Amino acid sequence: MEWESIWPGAKKASSQTPYSRIFASALKNWSALENSNFQISLCQPRHGAGVKSMGIAKKASQFVGAISTATGIFSAVLMGMMAFIVVYEVVMRYIFRHPTGWTIEFVPFMILWGGFVGAALTLKQDRHIRVDLLIRYLSPKAQTIMHVVTGTIGIAFCSVLFVEGLKMVIQTKELGTRTSGTFELPIFIPQLCVPIGAALLFLQFLVLISQAIYSLASGKIDAELKNEGGHPL
């Protein structure tokens, strides 16, 4: 910056006043500071912190997604085992006339575990049943806002479900309740699927809400909807 253009008498004043040396030194230091990369260096820590925060958020999202995928695979395995057990029971009952008693004890619990722990992967892939008759006519931004609202409601529901499910498990364990079948399994073991499934859904809702808020903040909603033919979540 040319200081003479702002104060034409600066150079003259600096040579005539008693503080000429101090004034000239100040002008020189300010010019050197202005020509340096001082402002850029000030911004770098903040920029680096932002990038680091985004990296942590991305890793957390990937971690939750990996958990949801693993529990989804576990749910699929349970469902496959359940189907095999049911077929086995049908064959034993109606062909060999020798029914088993343990299948009735295991199959309902496998259905519960498969449904609760597999719900997070279903949410991640956006395959839960929903009525989108009205929301499809909203703008992309309004759709994303609605996803934030419904996700927040989902988090609240999962929180209540987790707390109440945990209370149920603790109470059942203290009472020592067991099944009346062949193996007399402790009831709290199949009941554990309720708080575990609620916690998994809570984490996945949290990830989806963060993705929706990022889409709103970055303004990438229209492009994502156009490329994917639907909501990015």
pLDDT score of 3:
44
Phi and psi angles of residue 186, each rounded to the nearest 5 degrees, phi first: -65, 130
**CA dist., res. 150 & res. 144, Å (int):** 10
Average pLDDT, the chain: 79
Whole-number pLDDT of residue 33: 45
Q: In this structure, what token pair is assigned to residue 173?
A: 């364990």
| Contacts of residue 98, Cβ cutoff 8 Å, sequence gap at least 6 | 92
Is residue 16 over pLDDT 70?
no
Question: Closest by alpha carbon to 109, among 89, 85, 144?
Answer: 85
> Is there a contact between 203 and 67 (Cβ–Cβ < 8 Å)?
yes
Q: What is the DSSP string of 80-91?
A: HHHHHHHHHHHH
Helix axes 221-228, 140-175, angle to 10 degrees: 80
* Structural contact between residues 119 and 166, judged by C-beta atoms closer than 8 angstroms: no
Round to whole Å and give the CA distance between 8 and 4: 4
This prediction has a pTM of 0.70
Distance separating alpha carbons of residues 102 and 56, to the nearest angstrom: 47
More confident residue, 54 or 233: 54
- How confident is the model at residue 129, as a pLDDT? 84
**Proportion of the chain above pLDDT 70, given as a percent:** 71
Highest mean pLDDT (candidates 54-68, 182-196, 216-230):
182-196
Residue 84 pLDDT grade (very low, low, confident, very high; cuts 50, 70, 90): very high
Q: Is 232 in contact with 215 (CB distance < 8 Å)?
A: yes
For residue 130, name the pLDDT band (cuts at 50, 70, 90).
Answer: confident
Q: What is the mean pLDDT of residues 149-172?
A: 96
Q: What is the largest CA-CA distance in the chain?
A: 118
pLDDT at 132: 81
Helices (H), 17-101: 20-35, 38-94
Beta carbons of 85 and 106 less than 8 angstroms apart:
yes
pLDDT number for residue 182: 77
- Asked if pLDDT for residue 77 goes beyond 80, the answer is yes
Where do the H-state alpha helices sit in 97-139? 102-124
Closest CA to 196 of 229, 224, 214, 169: 169
Structure confidence by residue, pLDDT tens digits, 113-128: 999 999 999 999 988 8
Which residue, chain included where needed, has tokens 């150079």? 11
Which amino acid is located at 213 in the chain? I
- Looking at residue 50, its pLDDT comes to 52
Domain spans of the chain, in order of start: 37-228
Assign 229 a pLDDT band (cuts: 50, 70, 90).
very low
With a pLDDT cut of 90, the percent of the chain lying above it is 46
pLDDT at 17: 47
Mean pLDDT of 177-205: 92
Tell me the pLDDT tens digit for each residue of 99-113: 888 888 889 999 999
